[in-house]
Amino acid sequence: MNDHTSSRSGGFRKSKAALFGSIAVMTILAACSVNYQAYFRPPQIPGASFMGVQSCEECHEEIVSGFDSATHAKLLADGNHAVNMGCEACHGPGSIHNDSGGEIGTIHNPQADPDTCYQCHLDVKGSFALAHAHPIGDQITCNDCHDPHYGSAIKGGGVASMREGETCVQCHQAQAGPFVFEHEATRDGCTTCHTPHGSPSEKMLKTSNQMLCLQCHFQQQTAPDVILIGGRNHASFVSRGTCWTAGCHESVHGSHVNSSLRY
Ligand code: HEC
Ligand code: HEC
Ligand code: HEC
Ligand code: HEC
Ligand code: HEC
Ligand code: HEC
Ligand code: HEC
């Protein structure tokens, strides 16, 4: 990463240690900037050079035609010899692969390897290192929830909660119901309450206290010593634990027996 990035860090005149720090920061900032310029090092393939998206079209027509809509289609290489390197940002330079007629093993296939993504999304690596996180690797990969080739990289488009929920439900059927007494909160998507990558809180919750529920169930309080939630005084309940661990609303995703989300 050294040669590649330091050539762009021209203005910086700091100690070497500080410089390395700023390179890491710059990489992230660049990856988040609106013009989609990313400074990074794509996978290396000895002896191969970059060919551009068009060179893949002949043999991977379906992927290339869908790729126009992809977030990652906007990634460009930097410098005088810039080509639109979209595919090769993740797959590495393609000349040897192209010349071989597409032989397996001549180009990088990220599959279950998250390092290809961490080149530009270093912050995400941090999330997966938190105490309660999805076990990225064999059991679950970035591609289970993200599509690198079409449209928004977030399957279901992030805001389309039903479809985002479907992404989670591939593996977590129990939480999706159908329930006799549905909890409307799940309609807003699983990420209303859970972080998708990882969290310091148990069960990958966004917060491990009442605030998780009060984001929707907050009620204007009318008298001291009374804690109204759902029209009922909860003052003696809230000291017992969280809404879901105090023995009251254990069935937080939905219930088959009780409209107050109990078992
Ligand atoms: C953001 C990273 C990224 C970009 C950009 C990208 N790919 Fe991929 N590609 C992947 C990942 C990750 C996989 C592995 C998917 C899997 O195993 O489910 C993959 C798999 C593939 C495969 C293997 C066949 C398959 O479906 O398993 C082909 C072929 C392919 N990509 C072609 C392309 C082409 C052509 C482009 C450009 C139009 C492109 N990719 C752009 C990340 C990317
Ligand atoms: C001359 C045809 C041809 C061209 C050009 C071509 N590919 Fe392929 N590619 C193939 C074939 C054939 C396979 C094997 C596909 C299979 O078995 O599903 C393949 C496989 C792949 C794989 C999976 C490799 C593996 O080892 O698992 C990736 C990734 C890939 N291509 C990306 C690209 C990218 C990116 C480009 C453009 C830079 C490109 N291909 C250009 C024919 C081609
Ligand atoms: C070459 C750098 C680069 C690589 C490699 C890369 N990304 Fe990205 N990714 C970006 C940039 C730049 C954006 C746009 C950021 C923005 O909009 O703020 C982005 C956006 C995203 C988004 C948000 C998409 C959206 O539509 O809002 C997801 C999810 C994502 N990438 C996942 C991945 C995954 C998974 C991989 C590995 C298969 C990967 N990325 C590899 C640079 C990269
Ligand atoms: C369990 C499903 C899941 C897995 C696995 C997953 N993601 Fe995500 N990711 C999401 C969801 C859902 C969002 C949208 C976040 C939101 O709506 O709060 C997201 C958002 C993102 C974003 C954009 C926002 C941000 O946090 O920067 C990036 C980049 C990203 N993911 C990269 C990755 C990478 C890289 C991997 C693999 C190392 C990965 N994700 C694995 C579900 C997942
Ligand atoms: C490809 C399968 C897969 C997908 C898709 C998936 N998960 Fe997971 N999830 C797992 C695995 C594996 C674990 C860890 C093993 C376990 O505790 O069950 C896990 C654990 C969890 C946990 C913590 C469970 C605990 O007991 O601590 C939560 C919460 C969770 N996932 C929510 C989600 C959400 C939200 C989504 C969608 C954004 C999602 N998952 C998508 C496989 C998946
Ligand atoms: C209203 C907030 C909320 C929503 C929305 C939500 N969850 Fe949860 N989820 C929780 C809480 C709270 C727990 C912890 C329950 C416990 O500790 O008993 C939990 C626990 C889990 C667990 C761990 C196993 C278990 O049941 O204890 C998984 C897996 C999970 N949720 C997946 C999902 C999926 C998938 C979705 C979307 C369909 C979803 N959650 C939507 C609040 C929510
Ligand atoms: C995204 C918003 C949202 C979040 C977050 C949320 N809820 Fe709900 N909840 C609703 C909606 C909407 C209803 C149905 C309307 C109503 O009764 O207020 C509901 C209904 C309920 C009910 C049934 C009330 C009844 O008896 O009819 C209970 C119990 C409940 N929620 C508990 C919780 C708990 C516990 C949490 C935190 C783990 C939580 N909710 C988080 C939106 C939310």
Measure 25 CA to ligand 7 centroid, in angstroms. 40
Q: What is the reported pLDDT for 79?
A: 57
Give residue 78's pLDDT.
58
**Residue-level pLDDT at 26:** 34
CA atoms of 247 and 255, how far apart (whole Å): 14
Task: Decide: 64 in ligand 2 pocket, CB within 6 A.
Answer: no
What is the distance in A from the centroid of ligand 2 to the CA of 116?
17
Protein residue with least CA distance to atom 37, ligand 6: 190
- For 143, the token pair is 């591609």
Query: Which atom of ligand 7 is closest in space to residue 244's alpha carbon?
Result: 35
pLDDT at 150: 82
Domain positions in the chain are: 2-120
Residues with CB under 6 A from ligand 6: 165, 168-169, 172, 175-176, 185-186, 190, 192-194, 203, 205, 244, 250, 252-253
217, 226 contact by CB (below 8 A): no
Residue 80 pLDDT grade (very low, low, confident, very high; cuts 50, 70, 90)? low
pLDDT in tens, 51-65: 988 899 999 999 998
Residue nearest to atom 8 of ligand 2 (CA): 102
In terms of Cα–Cα distance, which of 44, 39, 167 is closest to 94?
A: 44
4-13, 114-123, 213-222: segment of lowest average pLDDT? 4-13
Q: What is the mean pLDDT of the chain?
A: 77
Residue 260 Cα to ligand 5 midpoint, Å, equals 25
* 121-137 tens-digit pLDDT: 889 999 999 999 999 98
Tell whether the model's pLDDT for residue 110 goes beyond 50.
yes
